[in-house]
Every structure is written in structure tokens, then in C-alpha cells.
Amino acid sequence: MTIPKGFIRADDVLQDRMTADEAVRLEVTHGNGKLMRGLDILGMSGPLRPITPWELEDPHGRHVINASGYAALPFGDNPPELVGFLRDMLAVGGQIAIAQQSVTTWRAALEANLVRLLSHQAPSHADSRVFFSNSGTEAVEAAIKFAVAARPKAKYLINFQRAYHGKTFMSLSLTPNPTLQGPFRNLLSSSVVTLPFGDIEALARTVKRLGPDKIVAVVLEPILGEAGVRLPPPDFLRAVHDLCRPKGVLLVVDEIQTGLGRSGHWFQSLAAGLEPDIITLAKPLGGGLVPVGATIVRNSIYRELLGDVNKLKRHSNTFGGNSIAMAVGLKSLEMLIDMDAPARSRALGERGLTRLKAVQQRFPNLLEDVRGAGTLFAMNFRPVIDPKFLPGQADFVSEVSGFLALLAFYRAGVQLNFSLNAARTMRITPAMNMPDDVFDELFDRVGRAAEQHPTSFSLVRGTGLGKLLQLAKFAFFE
């Protein structure tokens, strides 16, 4: 067959022969065009190149500190130690890449290390098992299958308002966001009972009403990440443990965003007194280079899904546990341990949150509040227009406020994260190994951005009329 016209050779991309404009055009045409077009109008579509692991350069020559990465960049972009290790690993070769029917040393080592790390703090996990997948949402899907298989007579899953567990069907069922659930509602699980986060009385009442034997599991994030770094009341997680454990209701804890140091602990749940039966991990485990999802499961539960000859094919995937992912995961975990990621995250967290609180106090008309836990930070912006002037449009105003804040901070040299369950909240999730001077410069820039936009309305003015018109046309007519 002749190569189709316009086919792009990998070497052309490798040798940088594709222009930024061409990449944007292709993405707008063939990818998530609406998002890419919106970012392009804002001048933020990239492609972004790392100039150090912590700083990015865009095609206009603008340098921004990368405070984004959705907590999946523990060491920034292309961390040299990890990239070097991956190169060595590929050069040595040695084992098959995708091994479903054989052991690999990479996978064996990572399984064992994850269990050791967990059981170091929760000894009852000493014989736990690990199931690998390729994303956070898959890790959650697996967690629920394990839990359900272990409690076949139970029907209900309890989750919490504003939780985020991913966008595949079961994870989406556990993510009670009407916009994200939208047209899929009819196909989502009807077994999910959603309660206010942090309300132990509501949980106690619900457990009593449904009956503990009818409840498969309580599924929770120890800190609501995508809702904008929202911590529960101090004793909530311990109380959930004390309520559910004696009754046999399983505890499925999603540490995909909080875990492995990010919140200031290896496992935020354990630090807060809740010992999970099943834990999901993903983001930082891939070191910012490859996707790795992991579901750590008590042995007794694991066996119910995959534990005998008739069952052992009941859950699997093609790529989970592949050698590149496992090698990078193994090295990433080692790097996190060597740098004592939780301690580093706590130290940076304290410093950053002090800075953020000072900015909020100076500019209360820009920032409604700020929050932090380790190196998970959130800035909650005020709406750019009081929603009472646009009845029924509060969500739209929130979206616009979020986008304009993102733009203003980008122009001030900081790349922020959206929050999927809080449109006006932007998160700062810097690499945990960010050097002190870059970290301080990041918060200097946050302060300068706020000085330039002392009120939320000034985000509108600062955007410029031309850009606003372009955005309005894009939002309503394109």
C-alpha cells in the first residue's frame, strides 16, 4: 500500500519538523477540538516544551513555571534520573514488554514494593496483592469489582458529594457531578448512595437504614482533590473506619491524587486513622512519564475475584503491568522514597500555604478562599460577575471565571490546573522535587498575578476586549 497523502512520519516529529501551528490545526481538527480551540484563543495551547523539569516554554517564547500536571508529575517533566533509567532499561531489554502469561521481574518488584510500603504503616496488609492497570479510573473500576466480588449479597456503594473517581462508567457512577454524568445517567449504576462529605451522622444513619450487610463498600477520597482540595473535618476518616470496619462494610480509598507523598503522607487515609481494605493509586506512580494504575487489595478480598482456577481470568487487561510501566513505576517509587516525598511535600506545603493565605488576605475580592494539604493547593476565585446579574447562569459564570483566572496566571508565568468538580477553583500542584528557588518564584508570580488583578472583575478587563469577543464568539457561535 502506498502511504496515504499527508501521513506524518515519526521521524518528522522527532526531528521537530512539525510546526506548532500545524500541531494546533491537527488537534483542533482531529482531537478534542473545542478544548484545543479554546486554549488556542487564550494563547495557551502549546505545544509546551520543558526547559527544565519545572519550567515550560510555549511557542511564543513565554516561560511558565509548571504548577499543573494534575498531581501526576512528582518530579516535573522529563526528570533526567528517570529518563536515564528508562533509556538504560530499554537498552538492556531482557524481558518481554507485555507479559500476561508470565512473570516479569519488573512487575514482581513493584508489586512487592507497593505492598511493603503499605504494610509498613498498616501491617495487616502484609499479604495484600496488587492489580495493575493504565489509569486512575481503571484502578477504581478494578477496586469496585474486587469489592463487589467479595460481598456478592450486598447491593449498595456509598460515596460522597463532590467526589471524583474518574470518567469510565463505574467510576463515573461514583462521581456525582451532573455535568460529567450528563447523558450517561441512565446507564450509570443505580446502587450508589451519595452522602455529604464529612457528615458522619449521615453515614451512620444510612448504614443503619440500608443495613450493613447490604452495603458493599464506602468509597472515598481522603481529601476531595477535584472539588478543590477539600479536607473533611479532622475526625471524620477515623470515624468512618470505626463505623464501618466492625460491621464488615469494606473501605475503598481512592488515593490517586493524595497518595505517595502529595498530601504530605504516603497514604492520607492511614495518616487520618482510616485503614482501607482496597486502595487505588495512579498519577505519581508513573513518574510523569508513563501511565500506571494500581489497586492494592487485601488478600482475602482479592481471592474472591481472582482466586481460583475458574475465576482467574475474570478481571484483566492487555497492557496493565507492562514492563516499561513497571520499570518506571519501580524507579519512581524508589525516587519518592529516596527524597522522602511526604516530608518534602509537607515542608513545601507549609511554605506555599502561608504565601497563598497572605495573597488571599490582600486580595479578598479576587480570591474567596485558599486551601492546601501538602503540595496540593487550591485558589477559589470569586465569580467575575455577580451571578445575580445573570440569573440561571451561575455555572457559566463560574466556568468563565476559571478560564480567565487560568489565563491571567499563565500570562504571569504560572501554569495552573483546572478542577473538574469546582470550576472557579484552580489548583497548584508543583513537582515535589521543585527546587526552593523555583518554588518561591512560583509563589512570587502568584502574588504578582493577584496584584495585577486585584478583583475578579479585573480578570475580565485584563483579558482585553479583542480576546473577550473572540471567546464569546467561540463559546456561542462556533
Ligand X SMILES: Cc1ncc(COP(=O)(O)O)c(C=O)c1O
Please report whether residue 136 would count as binding ligand X according to CB under 6 A.
Answer: yes
CB of residue 172 vs ligand X: minimum separation in angstroms?
Answer: 10
Please report whether residue 262 would count as binding ligand X according to CB under 6 A.
Answer: no
Instruction: Report how far residue 361's alpha carbon sits from residue 373's, in angstroms, rounded to the nearest whole number.
Output: 19
Span 330-389, contacts to ligand X by CB under 6 A: none
Please report whether residue 164 would count as binding ligand X according to CB under 6 A.
Answer: yes
CB of residue 151 vs ligand X: minimum separation in angstroms?
Answer: 22
In the list 130, 140, 203, 285, the residue contacting ligand X (rule: CB under 6 A) is: 140
In the list 221, 275, 277, 304, the residue contacting ligand X (rule: CB under 6 A) is: 221
Rounded-to-10 torsion of CA 426, 456, 361, 71:
10
Cis-peptide, bond into residue 47, ω within 30° of zero: yes
Please report whether residue 254 would count as binding ligand X according to CB under 6 A.
Answer: yes
Span 279-338, contacts to ligand X by CB under 6 A: 282
Select 260 or 282, whichever has its Cβ closest to ligand X: 282
Which cell goes with 161? 458529594
In the list 68, 135, 177, 433, the residue contacting ligand X (rule: CB under 6 A) is: 135
Instruction: Report how far residue 299's alpha carbon sits from residue 355's, in angstroms, rounded to the nearest whole number.
Output: 44
Report the Cα 455 to chain-centroid distance in Å: 29
CB of residue 175 vs ligand X: minimum separation in angstroms?
Answer: 8
CB of residue 182 vs ligand X: minimum separation in angstroms?
Answer: 17
On whether the CB atoms of residues 101 and 91 are closer than 8 A, the answer is no
Select 161 or 452, whichever has its Cβ closest to ligand X: 161
Stretch of residues binding ligand X (CB under 6 A), selected from 58-66, 236-244, 251-259, 407-415: 251-259
On whether the CB atoms of residues 63 and 55 are closer than 8 A, the answer is yes
Span 405-434, contacts to ligand X by CB under 6 A: none
> How does strand 55-57 pair with strand 129-133?
unpaired
CB of residue 149 vs ligand X: minimum separation in angstroms?
Answer: 21
In the list 128, 133, 137, 345, the residue contacting ligand X (rule: CB under 6 A) is: 137
Instruction: Report how far residue 158's alpha carbon sits from residue 204's, in angstroms, rounded to the nearest whole number.
Output: 11
Q: Would you tell me which residues interact with ligand X (CB under 6 A)?
A: 70, 135-137, 140, 164-166, 221, 225-226, 254, 256-257, 282
